[in-house]
C-alpha cells in the first residue's frame, strides 16, 4: 500500500517533455538558422567585393576582346575573334610566349635548386644562421620598383658597379651593355629575378625541412646512410609537397611577370625582354588598343588557368587528397 504514495520518477514539474519524433526541437532549429544567417552575413561582403573587383573586370575584358575599342565609352565596333587571330600572328606576342617559356625553364632549373641548396645548408647547425636567413630573405621584402632601380644602377654601362667589379678582377671584357644588348638582356633580367625571389622559395623549403621528424634522419644514420642517401631517400620525398607548391608559384609568377621587367627595361631593347603582361600594357595604355590588350589578358588568364587546373589534377592531387582525408579524420 505504501508504494502507491511514492513519487513517480518519470514525471514531475522538473521533467522536460520529450522532443517530438517528427523533427528536431524548435530551439535547435532556431540555432541552426541563426548559424546559417551568421555565416551568410560574413560571406556576402567578401563575395560582393570578389564579384565587383575580380569577376566583373574579367567578364568585361572577355567582352571587350571581341571589339576594336580605344578605351573610351562602351565598346561598339565588334570584330569577332580578329583580335585573337591577330594575336597569334604577331611576332612580338609569339616572342613573349617563347621568353615566358625560357624564364620558366631557368626558374625550375637554376633558381629553385639553388634555393633548395641554400635551405639545406641553413638548416644545419651553423653559427649565425638566423642572420643568413634574414639576409637571403631580405631581397624578397623589397618592392619590385626598388629592385629594378637598384639593378639598373648596378648594371649601368661603363659606370655601373658590375663593370667596376669585373674590371677590378681582370674580366672587364665580360661587362658592357647588360640591359641594352639583345644577347644578354634576358640572362641579366633572370639574374635579377633570381636574386629577388630565391629567398622566398628558400624560406618555403626551410619550413618544410623543419617539419621533417628528426627521428627519421637519425634512423637513417643508424642504418649507415650517408648524407646524399639521407637527402635522396628521406629528406627529398618528405619535402615533395613543399617542392610542388614552390614549382607552382614559380611558374605562375613567370607567366604573369610585369613590374620588375618594366622598371628595368620596359621590354627593350627592341622587344627582346618583353613579357606578355608588358605587351598588354603597351597596347592598352600606350597605344590605346584596349580591345587587343583585352585579348592578350584573356590569353594570359587562359594559360594560367589551364596550367593551374592541370597541375592540380596531375601533380597536387595526392597532396589535396591527403589534406581532405586528414580533415575528415579529425572531424570523426
Q: 84-142: per-residue pLDDT in tens?
A: 999 989 999 999 999 999 999 999 999 999 999 999 999 988 888 899 999 999 999 99
Instruction: Report helix angle 112-122 to 185-210, nearest 10.
Output: 40
Query: So what's the pLDDT on residue 175?
Result: 67
Please determine, for residue 10, whether its predicted confidence score (pLDDT) is greater than 60. Answer: no
**Residue 210 burial (CB count, 10 A):** 10
pLDDT at 332: 42
Measured CA to CA, the distance from residue 175 to residue 13 in angstroms comes to 96
φ, ψ (nearest 5 deg) of residue 67: -130, 155
User: Looking at the chain, how many residues does it have?
Assistant: 332
User: Which comes out higher in pLDDT, residue 293 or 183?
Assistant: 293
The CATH architecture annotation of domain 82-316 reads: Orthogonal Bundle (1.10)
- Residue 56 scores a pLDDT above 90: yes
* pTM as predicted: 0.83
- Whether the pLDDT of residue 4 is over 70: the answer is no
Q: Which of 160, 195, 193, 197 is nearest to 175 (CA)?
A: 160
Can you tell me the mean pLDDT for 193-206?
Answer: 96
Amino acid at each position: 500500500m505504501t508504494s502507491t504514495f511514492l513519487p513517480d520518477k518519470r514525471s514531475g514539474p522538473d521533467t522536460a517533455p520529450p522532443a517530438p519524433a517528427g523533427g528536431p526541437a524548435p530551439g535547435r532549429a532556431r540555432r541552426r538558422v541563426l548559424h546559417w544567417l551568421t555565416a551568410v552575413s560574413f560571406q556576402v561582403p567578401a563575395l560582393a567585393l570578389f564579384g565587383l573587383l575580380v569577376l566583373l573586370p574579367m567578364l568585361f575584358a572577355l567582352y571587350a576582346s571581341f571589339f576594336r575599342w580605344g578605351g573610351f565609352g562602351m565598346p561598339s565596333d565588334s570584330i569577332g575573334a580578329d583580335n585573337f587571330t591577330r594575336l597569334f600572328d604577331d611576332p612580338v606576342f609569339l616572342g613573349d610566349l617563347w621568353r615566358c617559356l625560357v624564364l620558366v625553364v631557368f626558374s625550375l632549373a637554376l633558381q629553385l635548386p639553388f634555393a633548395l641548396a641554400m635551405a639545406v645548408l641553413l638548416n644545419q647547425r651553423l653559427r649565425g644562421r638566423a642572420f643568413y636567413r634574414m639576409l637571403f630573405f631580405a631581397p624578397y621584402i623589397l618592392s619590385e620598383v626598388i629592385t629594378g632601380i637598384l639593378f639598373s644602377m648596378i648594371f649601368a654601362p661603363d659606370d655601373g658597379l658590375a663593370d667596376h667589379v669585373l674590371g677590378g678582377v681582370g674580366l672587364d671584357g665580360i661587362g658592357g651593355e647588360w640591359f641594352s644588348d639583345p644577347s644578354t638582356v634576358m640572362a641579366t633580367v633572370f639574374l635579377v629575378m633570381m636574386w629577388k625571389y630565391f629567398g622566398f622559395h628558400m624560406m618555403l623549403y626551410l619550413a618544410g625541412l623543419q617539419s621533417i621528424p628528426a627521428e627519421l634522419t637519425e634512423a637513417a644514420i643508424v642504418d649507415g646512410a650517408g648524407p646524399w642517401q639521407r637527402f635522396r631517400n628521406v629528406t627529398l620525398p618528405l619535402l615533395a609537397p613543399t617542392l610542388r607548391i614552390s614549382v607552382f608559384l614559380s611558374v605562375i609568377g613567370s607567366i604573369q611577370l610585369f613590374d620588375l621587367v618594366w622598371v628595368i627595361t620596359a621590354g627593350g631593347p627592341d622587344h627582346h625582354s618583353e613579357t606578355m603582361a608588358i605587351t598588354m600594357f603597351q597596347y592598352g595604355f600606350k597605344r590605346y588598343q584596349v580591345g587587343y590588350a583585352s585579348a592578350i589578358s584573356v590569353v594570359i588568364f587562359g594559360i594560367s588557368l589551364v596550367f593551374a587546373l592541370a597541375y592540380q589534377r596531375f601533380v597536387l592531387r595526392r597532396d589535396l587528397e591527403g589534406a581532405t582525408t586528414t580533415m575528415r579524420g579529425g572531424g570523426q
